[in-house]
Amino acid sequence: MSLRDKRRVQSVRTSVRTKRNAVRDALPSFPGVPYLYILPFYVLFGLFLAFPVAYTFYLSFFRYHGRGSGYILEFDLFVFEFGVPRISNLEFVGLANYQRLFGDALFIQSVENTLVITLLQMPLMVLVSLLVALMLNAKFMQYSGYFRTAIAIPVTANYVAYSAIFLVMFAENFGFINYVLTAAGLPTIPWRTDGFWSRVSLAMALDWRWMGYNMLILFAGLQGIDRRLYEAAEIDGANRWEKFRYVTLPQLRPILLFVIVLSTIGSLQLFAEPMIITDGGPANQTITVVMYMYEEAFSRFNLGYASAITYALVVFVTILAYVQLKVGGE
């Protein structure tokens, strides 16, 4: 492009910019215009998050009797009429849904199952994630980036897809794991018909999926530790274990606590894996709180009771997270 053409293009751009600014200055200005740009977010937030959360809490004090009819409020603006429809037909029962929780044997069992699966899965996952992060952060480790990527890939797997794969792997008659055990001369394991082993199978599936994710978080924490602390420890004669105990762990404690709390919260909300891999069996040994809530809401249509289960879980998770943070010193 010649110099004349470049000047012509620049002249056109300047002219367009001048006309655009003139149009903008001619338009009337209104107070609060910036808020119009963020209004769509708050509308969507209110419709799809704030309202469901508030309505679920409201619903927990009622017994659901099907879809409502008619309108709660009606407006007549002469030109047209509109109203706020009645979403559901409800019967006020006060705290009856919450009182029912304490006498519901299946709910108590679901809480126990959820806690057992969490205790089987979470400590091992955090420990393995920490060990892998330490190994990849070591000075002698080569191609660390490739290994981190490979180990973190499982977290991208779809819940249903990877649960279906583990369902096939844990099959008792034709499953891959029992096939390997048989080939090695070992007895097969009743992965889906024994209460303990069915919980172990869920813990193994969860560890496989989330280990890489937590490893990346812990690896980032290790990268943030000042190397001069290790140099000072070496000058004082500290060995590897002492450097890990007195330098790495104290510096990594906030990140480690974050991983533990996050993993615990995720385990207490377990749903897809037990639904697909074990279907809550055997004999409800792997039914979790969220599974039970789902069955009450969408199989039995006890929406009021399911809402009470939801908020009972929210309170329990909040208390447990608070206790973990306090014990962890945060």
Burial of 104 (0-12, 13-18, 19+ CB in 10 A): middle
Q: What's residue 77's pLDDT? A: 67
Answer left, alpha or beta for residue 237, where phi above 0 means left and psi between -120 and 50 means alpha: left
**What are φ and ψ of residue 276, in 5° steps?**
-95, -45
Tokens of 266: 């995720």
Question: What interhelical angle do 303-328 and 96-103 show, nearest 10?
Answer: 70
Per-residue pLDDT of the chain (330 residues; tens, 9 = 90+): 677 777 777 887 888 888 877 877 776 677 777 788 889 999 999 989 998 999 999 999 999 887 777 666 666 666 667 666 777 888 899 999 999 999 999 999 999 999 999 999 999 999 999 999 999 988 778 778 888 888 888 888 888 889 999 998 998 888 889 999 999 998 999 988 888 999 999 999 999 999 999 999 999 999 998 889 888 988 888 888 888 889 999 999 999 999 999 999 999 999 989 999 988 888 889 999 999 999 999 888 899 999 999 999 999 999 998 998 888 775
Q: What's residue 304's pLDDT? A: 92
Q: What's residue 25's pLDDT? A: 73
Q: What's residue 256's pLDDT? A: 93
Estimate the share of the chain in helix, then strand, then coil, as percent rounded to the nearest 5. 70, 5, 20
Structural domains of the chain sorted by starting position, each given as residue range(s) with its CATH number in brackets: 3-95 (no CATH), 99-328 (1.10.3720.10)
CA-to-CA separations, 155 to 62, 151, 210, 214, 216, in angstroms, rounded: 39, 9, 6, 10, 11
Q: What's residue 99's pLDDT? A: 94
d(CA 61, CA 99): 11
Q: What's residue 20's pLDDT? A: 79
